[in-house]
Structure 1
Amino acid sequence: MSDRKNVYLFYKKTDELEEKVQKARELGRKYDFNLVEDPKDANIIASFGGDGTFLQALQKTRFREDALYIGVNDGDFGFYTDFTTSDLTRLELAMQSDMDMVEVLRYPTLEVTIDGLKSFHCINEVTIRSNIIKTFVVDVYLDNLHFETFRGDGLLVSTPTGSTAYNKSLGGAVVDPKLPAMQLTEMASVNNNQYRTLGSPLVLSKGRELTLKVVQDGNDHPIIGIDNEAMGIRHSRHINVKVSDRVVKTLKMKDNLFANKLKRSFLE
């Protein structure tokens, strides 16, 4: 990180966390890092909290491609947070630019366009769900070809890193985060003589495009979530999703591999 010295800190300001962040500030000054008040002036963006805080930091700073993101968990390690407030030794190693200990990972993101007008990025998932206690119908297009007509509670499109979150709870596959791909997973689909879907998660490579068109049958005001945050968008008709060319650069420790994270989160 020797060529990156301007740091923006993103966290929820509580007395307990402020004390821990202050220690990280002091450590940063020791290695000549500069704290900035505006994320636009930063080339390092560090979040303090958990994976949820890391996702918020990405959304609030608009997925900066020219910045390096660092997640510091206020507790155990997470999928996006390779450092903790309880052990700043690991963070100090990263500040020393010891590349034998750390590496930069480039996580794929999704580009989501709603009604051809508003575009967003996400690193976990985009969901489309019924906003009332009633199933709704979505025509699913794959590369502009009608693929299936879905009826159920909703659909989720996840990134590889998002595959271990909401997607996994729906029975989706866990995908290696180094693969530039996306996964379509169903929420309580109805399969009968009228509606027929694949009935299993579908993993698609970069270059594919999904289009989800809401069928107007009286339940045409779906809830759209980006990284599990509801978007204030009403009367949406169709959503286009593809793997973006934009990646998120994150700093991780080499001793915290993808297999370590899976084992720690689901098997121990």
Structure 2
Amino acid sequence: MTQTNFTDKQIKVAIVSNGNYHSRGIAHKLFTTLRDDDDFYLTKRYPDVVISIGGDGMLLSAFHMYERSLDNIRFVGIHTGHLGFYTDYRDFEVDTLLENLRSDKGEKISYPILSVKTTLSDGRILTSRALNEATIKRLEKTMVADVIVNDIKFESFRGDGLSVSTPTGSTAYNKSLGGAVLHPTIEALQLTEIASLNNRVFRTLGSPLIVPKHETIEVIPRRLGTYVITIDNKTYKHRDVVKIEFEIDRKKIHFLGSENHTSFWERVRDAFIGELDDEI
């Protein structure tokens, strides 16, 4: 029978899953097991722990689903598809996750996230948070924009667009743009160019730029038009963007702390290098 009365001793758990058949099967197993366990209370509202079942895309969706309550939530991912950078448990390790949840003492691993503020020509100000990165591109033609770093005009950019990533997001789109991989204990932003124009007329730095916590990156478009702004796996179109500001958010994302939480460098190695051959 489904629990209806919550007690302070119970851990409130939310389960979110993608539409994959295998993921739904694991979600059902977790639901039926936790439903009948007096140590847990299943709820979508104000959970203590969010279990994401799928891949990195599903965890990004779970993050945005609960981004207004980050202070009180810890996330944990179960990987059921392709390589999952944010997922600590494989699909065959559900019982291990259950054991770790039962012995949980509130440990957490925390990573910085990105604050994004977009100002539009009609006066609206839109605020967002990103776990991986945010990008801005001009839809019609080449994007021309001033880049302001900590109130100093740094460069005038011409090209397809710009990406600003978190340390954990440094291994995602940022890496494909030639950006550096940053350990998440380094609370910093990383600005990378998307197909910049560099010649004797137009000149940009042409290299990734790492900006520390408490400093801000501003991008001020110099041409009217439609701009495409992405926040992780979400895409928005806006007319006539006045400016977009990036900084490390005051909140962080918290993951369930256990021996299964793979270290950052192990994740990077497993994702991009694979098994190492000890023989030279």
Q: CA RMSD in A?
A: 2.1
In the alignment, does 2:168 pair up with 1:161? yes
- Matched position secondary structure for 2:157: strand
Deviation (angstroms), 1:253: 4.0
* Structure 2 partner of 1:46: 51
Q: How far 1:257 sits from its partner (Å)?
A: 1.2
Amino acid at match of 1:24: L
| SS in structure 1 at match of 2:238 | coil
Q: How many residues align?
A: 260
TM score, norm. by length of structure 1: 0.89
| Aligned mates of 2:181, 2:157 — CA distance in 1 | 23
SS in structure 1 at match of 2:246: strand
Query: 2: CA distance between counterparts of 1:4 and 1:146?
Result: 52
Residue in 1 aligned with 2:3?
none
1:139 paired to 2:146 = yes
Match of 2:266 among 242, 257, 260: 260
Match for residue 241 of structure 2?
236
Read off the aligned partner of 2:159 and give its amino acid letter: G
1:212 & 1:176 partners in 2: Cα distance? Answer: 25
SS of the aligned residue for 1:41 comes to coil
**Contact residue 10 and residue 38 of structure 2 kept, 8 A:** no
- Structure 1 residue corresponding to 2:181, chosen from 151, 174, 185: 174
Q: Say which of 107, 110, 117 aligns to 1:106.
A: 110
Match of 2:32 in 1: 26
Gaps of 5+ in 1: none
Structure 2: stretches of 5+ with no match in the other structure: 1-7, 275-280
User: Hey, what's the Cα distance between the residues in 2 that align with 1:53 and 1:205?
Assistant: 29
Contact 1:63 1:121 in 2 (8 A): no
Letter in 1 for 2:236: M
Deviations 1:217-254 (A, max 9, x none): x5x31110001321243321210100011101111543
* Counterpart for residue 121 of structure 1: 129
Does the Cα contact within 8 Å between 1:152 and 1:190 map onto a contact in 2? yes
Q: Is the 8 A contact 1:124 1:159 kept in 2?
A: yes
Structure 2 length as normaliser, TM-score? 0.86
Q: Identify the range of structure 1 (123-132 vs 77-86) with the bigger mean alpha-carbon deviation.
A: 77-86
**3-state SS, counterpart of residue 167 of structure 1:** helix
Partners of 2:93 and 2:38 in 1: how far apart?
17
Question: In structure 2, which of residues 252, 256, 270 is the aligned counterpart of residue 251 of structure 1?
Answer: 256
Which runs of 4 or more aligned residues in structure 1 lie more than 4 Å from their structure 2 counterparts after TM superposition?
none
Deviations 1:85-141 (A, max 9, x none): 222133023213356xx9511110111000171110111000001213x32101000
Contact 1:77–1:83 (CA under 8 A) maintained in structure 2 = no
SS in 2 for 1:179: coil
AA paired with 2:194? M
Retained in 1: the 8 A contact 2:192–2:208?
Answer: yes
Kept after mapping to 1: 8 A contact 2:9/2:39: no
SS of match in other structure, 1:70? strand
